[in-house]
Amino acid sequence: MTGPSAPIHSHLHPSNRRRVSPSRYARFVSSDSAAPRLDVDQILADPGVRIVVCCGAGGVGKTTTAAALALRAAEHHGRRTVVLTIDPARRLAQSLGLTELDNTPRQVKGIDVEASGGELHAMMLDMKRTFDDVVLAHTDPERAAEIFANPFYQAMSSTFAGTQEYMAMEKLGQLHARGEWDLIVVDTPPSRSALDFLDAPARLSRFLDGRMLRLLLAPARTGGRSMFSLVTASFGMFSRVVQKVLGAQLLTDLSGFVAALDSMFGGFRQRAEQTYRILQARETAFLLVAAPEPDAVREAAYFAGRLGEERMPLAGLVLNRVHRPAVDSPDAETSLAAAERLTTLGGHEATVEALRAHAALLQQAVREQRVAATFTDAYPQVPVVAVTAQPADVHDVDGLRAIGVAISRP
């Protein structure tokens, strides 16, 4: 499958934005206007929104954000919600009642849905089992058993760099198809790059549908006269190289794998394309999650560009772990100078420490604003919400609820 070759999404891509002459609007819009505020409650309450996808770099609180949003959708907006997590921290998983990875949504007990009538279900993705289910759905049991026993299938279903992404999307497709949920909140895998999550399904599907597989499977079918003697010649060389490097047993396993998968090509491709279209639909809202650190914000900006190119609906950016001083004055310089004076005076250790902590907080806030501006400068139309850093880590329902409140009312 290849992505659509349609033009870049109208208003989100910086190169397009620049085509609008600024002079026409300059009189009405202040040049340094901040990004619009992201109203998370509006998204969570909208019955037209059926899927929320949280994406961003690793280590920015993506899973926690997804869980907090799902909890809020259930408790506050009365929606029948399911959250699909990929690799949650142990204690967060426990707080949602996820003690085992069983690949099925489980209802989260002990939350406050009496008034709203909502429900929260949670599940952890089991990549291998999801892959197995896909195989079972597309082939007869005998052939499936053959596939499961093949060492290539075992390697691919548990370690291929894109399998997790692909299976997360597959699971999303399954949950969506069941139609049982008002809202599905998806956490995306902690990829080496945010792009993997968009690229891997296409890549895996292209691979499973690819000419290399077809060549291995039946060179005659793709070959014939028109199919370039170079390819056939190179392919012969390819299999000789593979045989030399990896050994003959491997080639036998490989062609066995390929032959077994052949019956499934159409199914794989169709499902990947279906999920891709769901992601482009109006019922989906993508939320970028980042922390005010250069890598995370760069990744978010990159992702915003990609979503635009793929014509996928970007709802906004959740900027986690933002530091905000409780009071602006005295400023950092004054605080540090005062701390120096008090140190010389002696007897004010606690105040010295408080002033130094205050100065550090102010400096950090300035640095974070500078980092965040690299995103808002490139994508000024994308709504943003900043979530203040919590002093301690979150791993219970109360903590998730507090984050939900912080995201909605900054």
Name the β-bridge partners of 297.
none
Q: How far is 267 from 39, CA to CA, in rounded Å? A: 38
Q: In whole angstroms, how far apart are CA 311 and each of 16, 272, 287, 409?
A: 14, 16, 14, 29
- Report in angstroms how near the CB of residue 69 gets to another protein at its nearest: 19
Q: Which amino acid is residue 152, in one-letter code?
A: F
Interface mask toward another protein for 124-163; x: CB under 8 A: ---------------------------xx-xxx--xxx--
Residue 295 sits in the site that holds another protein (CB under 8 A)? yes
Contacts for 55 with CB less than 8 Å, ≥ 6 apart: 62, 188, 194, 197, 286, 287, 288, 289, 303
At its nearest, how many Å lie between another protein and the CB of residue 350?
4
- Return the residues of window 21-60 that contact another protein according to CB under 8 A: 57-60
Residues 240-259 that bind another protein (CB under 8 A): 241-242, 244-247, 249-250, 253-254, 257
Instruction: Please say which residue, 325 or 380, places its beta carbon nearer to another protein.
Output: 325
H helix runs in 120-264, sequence order: 127-138, 141-149, 151-159, 163-178, 195-208, 211-217, 219-222, 229-246, 248-261
Nearer CB in complex with another protein: 115/230: 230
DSSP 232-244: HHHHHHHHHHHHH
Q: How far is the CB of 408 from another protein (least distance, A)?
A: 21
Kindly tell me which of 20 and 337 has the beta carbon lying closer to another protein: 337
Give me the residues paired with residue 319 across strands: 290, 386
Question: Which positions from 79 through 98 interact with another protein, judged by CB under 8 A?
Answer: 87, 89-90
Q: Which residue number, 115 or 327, has a Cβ lying nearer to another protein?
A: 327
Applying CB under 8 A, the site for another protein has a residue count of 75
In sequence order, the β-bridge partners of residue 187 are 54
Choice from 42, 99, 263, 334 touching another protein (CB under 8 A) = 334
Q: Is 363 in the site for another protein (CB under 8 A)?
A: yes
Q: Which of residues 203-242 bind another protein (CB under 8 A)?
A: 203, 207, 210-213, 230-231, 234, 237-238, 241-242
Closest contact distance (angstroms) between CB of 199 and another protein is: 12
Q: How many CB atoms lie within 10 A of CB 326?
A: 6
| Sign of torsion over alpha carbons 179, 201, 236, 255 | negative
